[in-house]
Amino acid sequence: MTLDAIDKKLLVLLQTDSKKTTKELSLKLNLSVTAVYERIKKLEREGIIKNYVALVDKSKIEKGFVVFCHLKLIQHTKEFLTKFESEVIKLNEVLECHHVSGDYDYILKVLVKDMEAYREFLVTKLTTLQHIGSTQSTFMISEVKNSTVIF
């Protein structure tokens, strides 16, 4: 699907505030409510809009300690990769897991309460997963930019 300028503007509006009504969106886009509704439904059908979510302030729920954990597996066989990925998906503390190139195989974004909670997570959960060769943790000092808006 090719996105036109109106689709892109609609996506920006929805990514900024997905609770806006089709009427509010129609006023901003100078389109009818029906036209906006049809565009949204088409974006959803095409899989461009995957989900609607509530973004939570992590510091207000005691998850403000952000760690980027770099992992190396002991081997790079499909079996080891698949097993690791299926296990790491189950860890609630892991918000993101990216298979990457370079010195490490994966980068995890981990949210916990504090350093003590991270140590507990590392010792009792993460390092108990099979096939992990080594880890390196980097701790976030401050968040300069965190956006969910594309375009």
Tens digit of pLDDT at every position of the chain (151 positions)? 899 999 999 999 999 999 999 999 999 999 999 999 999 999 999 999 999 999 999 999 999 999 999 999 999 899 999 999 999 999 999 999 999 999 999 999 999 999 999 999 999 999 999 899 999 999 999 999 999 999 9
At 15 the three-state DSSP class reads helix
54-61 CB contacts, 8 Å cutoff, 24+ apart: 55/148, 58/111
Question: Which sign does the torsion angle of CA 49, 52, 55, 61 carry?
Answer: negative
Spatial separation of the C-alpha atoms in residues 10 and 40, rounded to whole Å: 8
- Is residue 124 in some structural domain? yes
At 36 the three-state DSSP class reads helix
13 and 80 share one domain: no
77 and 121 share one domain: yes
73 and 123 share one domain: yes
16 and 88 share one domain: no
Domain that holds residue 97: 58-139
39 and 72 share one domain: no
**Total structural domains within the chain:** 2
81 and 25 share one domain: no
pTM: 0.89
